[in-house]
Structure 1
Amino acid sequence: MKILLFGATGMVGQGVLTECLKAKDVTHIVAVGRTAPPQQDPRLHTLQVPDMALADLSSLSDFDACFYCLGASSSGKTEAEYTALMHDLPLSVARKLKDANPHLTFVFITGAGSDLNSDTMWKRVLGMAEHDIQALGLHRFFAFRPGIIQPLGGIRSKQGNYQLFYTLMKPFFPLVRTLFPNHILTTALVGQAMLNATRQGFPRPVLEIRDIRTLADHRP
């Protein structure tokens, strides 16, 4: 499989990249972003773009999947600012990739509770993004709606308040996963589910936490 990965240096993207590098059927990975990921592998290549909104993606063709892991917190942002980051940008990327990648599986990380008709700003924006990207008519589109994602393997969040939460919660994550398995995921499970979505698809375009876990657990 040939994989495009947006946001490979973020918390979720690092976990997805780790799983891609573990997968024997992944033959080529292009990480697209402002900075290159620290991992090194003959299959891993980097396309550095200083401004994602203006990125020329015309050279990216015949990929099997695009894992869109770029995310942003809505805290302190107006609806217009958040819409530009979490609706307009992923929609633009998907539109640019569509014609040159006819067999593309586009997987987009949104969030639990995303809803086009919600009164909550971030839920409404992400729901609108899900709807509009799906409407492009890509070969396959999946919106992943995770809740809490536990970083594994030394992965850290770039956002200080989130990292503080993960640090404080680390001793309790095993118990939380046991008691509430459908409320928490790990970076590894998200990456495994994305790969399986590309390999085999899924009956529904929108995957909640339980669906992501089920898909991750499938062994090809």
Structure 2
Amino acid sequence: MGLKIIITGTTGMVGEGVMQRCLENPTVERVLAISRKPNGHQHPKLVELIHKDFTDLSAVADQLAGFDACFFCAGISSLGISKEQYEKITHDLTLAFASTLAKLNPEMTFTYVSGQGTDSSEKGRSHWARVKGKTENDLRKLPFKKVYAYRPGVMKPMEGALHVLSYYKYFAWMYPIGRKLYPNGFNTLAEVGDSMVYVSLNDNDSFILEGKEIRNTAGRLNSNL
């Protein structure tokens, strides 16, 4: 039997790319994409669950049991919203969602897409970095089998993506150069998805995965296929 995976954020570039990669992976049996609106993709392995309130999953809890992993790729920018809103969406919503899954799937691996610059100490000057750090730290306290925090930098979308960030087209040409000059700051979404599958199947020493480790774990997965 293959992996059964829940993925959030599939109407955004990161979640969509991770989902696309999982659907292509022969070790993945089923993907449940939970979001507030359809993501525009169809696949024999894919089931979509439309649910508006991620802080209250009681109405759909029976559909969330029996999964091996959750790849939490939903998130927002801190620009243009209040600190209170950002904390509510980034921390409170994520913890509410994850807490429900931990009760339903205690043997689950939970991976959370955070970001480069996240502040694990929760004491730095940057508000968004402190909130992300607190979210990582609090997720680690939940009774999952394993929890990992992903901190990729610039990410290259998958081919055929429908939800590429609008500004990406202005600097996509820089990706190959940046990858050579600063390899730890650049990943493909294929690498992110493959790495998440790898850590769901295998133990990984590091709780936090950044560019090089994301690439290395993705490579280990593909060497075993």
The alpha-carbon deviation at position 27 of structure 1 amounts to 0.9
Q: Which residue of 1 aligns with 2:184?
A: 182
Q: Which residue of 2 aligns with 1:105?
A: 109
Q: Which residue of 1 aligns with 2:73?
A: 69
Q: Look up the equivalent residue of 1:23 and give its one-letter code.
A: N
Q: Which runs of 5+ in 2 are unaligned?
A: none
Q: Which residue of 1 aligns with 2:19?
A: 17
Q: Look up the equivalent residue of 1:195 and give its one-letter code.
A: V
Matches within 5 A, 1:64-143: 64-115=68-119, 116-143=122-149
Q: C-alpha deviations, 1:76-117, integer Å up to 9, x for none?
A: 222211111110111111100112212100000001111122
Q: C-alpha deviations, 1:135-154, integer Å up to 9, x for none?
A: 11311000001111122314
Distance 2:154 2:27 in 1: 28
C-alpha RMSD of matched pairs (Å)? 1.5
- Contact kept in structure 2, 1:112 and 1:209, CA below 8 Å: no
Q: Which runs of 5+ in 1 are unaligned?
A: none
Aligned residues: 216
The alpha-carbon deviation at position 212 of structure 1 amounts to 1.2
Matches within 5 A, 1:128-207: 128-155=134-161, 157=163, 162-164=165-167, 166-207=168-209
Distance 2:142 2:152 in 1: 23
Distance 2:26 2:210 in 1: 27
Q: C-alpha deviations, 1:117-167, integer Å up to 9, x for none?
A: 221000000000000110113110000011111223143556xxx522x11
Q: Look up the equivalent residue of 1:20 and give its one-letter code.
A: C
User: Are 1:58 and 2:61 an aligned pair?
Assistant: yes
Distance 1:194 1:136 in 2: 19
The alpha-carbon deviation at position 71 of structure 1 amounts to 0.9
- Contact kept in structure 1, 2:108 and 2:146, CA below 8 Å: yes
Change (3 A) 1:5 1:129: same
Tell me which moved more, 95-104 or 36-45: 36-45
- Contact kept in structure 2, 1:67 and 1:106, CA below 8 Å: yes
- Contact kept in structure 2, 1:62 and 1:103, CA below 8 Å: no
Distance 2:177 2:137 in 1: 35
The alpha-carbon deviation at position 178 of structure 1 amounts to 2.1
For residue 54 of structure 1, give the secondary structure of its aligned residue in structure 2: coil
Tell me which moved more, 131-140 or 54-63: 54-63
Q: C-alpha deviations, 1:46-72, integer Å up to 9, x for none?
A: 111022223334211121100000010
- Tell me the TM-score normalised to structure 2 length: 0.91
